[in-house]
Amino acid sequence: MSSQDQSFSTTLPVEISIAYRTYFPKEYSEQGSGHPLLFFMHGSGERGTDLDRLELQTLPRFIKEGLDLPFVTVCPQCKEMWDTRCLDLLLDEVIEKYNIDRSRVYVSGNSMGGLGTWMLANVAADRIAAIAPICAPSTRINPDNFKGLPVWCFHGALDSEVPIGESVKMVRLLRKAGCDVRFTVDPDADHDTWTAAYHDPELVSWLLSHHK
């Protein structure tokens, strides 16, 4: 996969800007049918202003090392914490900028990026086909926003950084509201559940099976 570095900014009451890296599948073309989009958010260790930090671990690193994914993969980098206004606008921008199939937009992230996944889906579920938050902290959401949005959560039972109870809270809340939630617990894993998840072909197949 080839990659590009980009930045995005907009003028709101407070100016918001965010840099991001884009990875393209081998078959990417600006013409013809649109490609599925995977919007990925990193964990706390990759925060900052150096996009090379994105490739220290998790999905961008795996792609750099040769993981072949069928998505246009967009990886924003936050300086401190995710801002849903910026993420929402960036999602719109990349959908317009690249040759994207609007019915196949997926969001995933690990740890702090899993939190960002919950946050973005809470405000942009109308444009997202499925989400996969991995070892994510819990956050306040409106379960009604997730009705019709398939969710697959991953967490390690032995997670010493983000306790598994954080995902359990979110899964219970959404299931109580009648949402479609799949929950995978690795009984032997600590915080790193992303390596197995992102190398599992079933996750890719599951994402692609959903259309908006």
Three-state SS string across 40-103, please? EECCHHHCCCCHHHHHHCHHHHHHHCCCCCCCEEEEEECCCCCCHHHHHHHHHHHHHHCCEEEE
Question: ∠ CA 71-28-110 to the nearest 5 degrees?
Answer: 20
**Is 90 exceeded by the pLDDT of residue 130?**
yes
pLDDT band at 19 (very low <50, low <70, confident <90, very high): very high
Question: ∠ CA 89-22-183 to the nearest 5 degrees?
Answer: 75
Three-class SS state of 151: strand
Of residues 210, 200, 138, 208, the one with CA closest to residue 174: 138
**Is 50 exceeded by the pLDDT of residue 14?**
no
**Is 60 exceeded by the pLDDT of residue 12?**
no
Provide mean pLDDT across the span 51-63.
94
The pLDDT assigned to 99 comes to 98
User: What is the value of pTM for the model shown?
Assistant: 0.93
Q: Across the chain, what does the average pLDDT equal?
A: 94
Domain spans, the chain: 2-133+194-208
**Is 70 exceeded by the pLDDT of residue 173?**
yes
Q: Which two tokens stand for residue 184?
A: 């995978």
What's the CATH code, domain 2-133+194-208? 3.40.50.1820
pLDDT tens readout for residues 87-121: 999 999 999 999 999 999 999 999 999 999 999 99
Of residues 142, 140, 139, 122, the one with CA closest to residue 131: 122
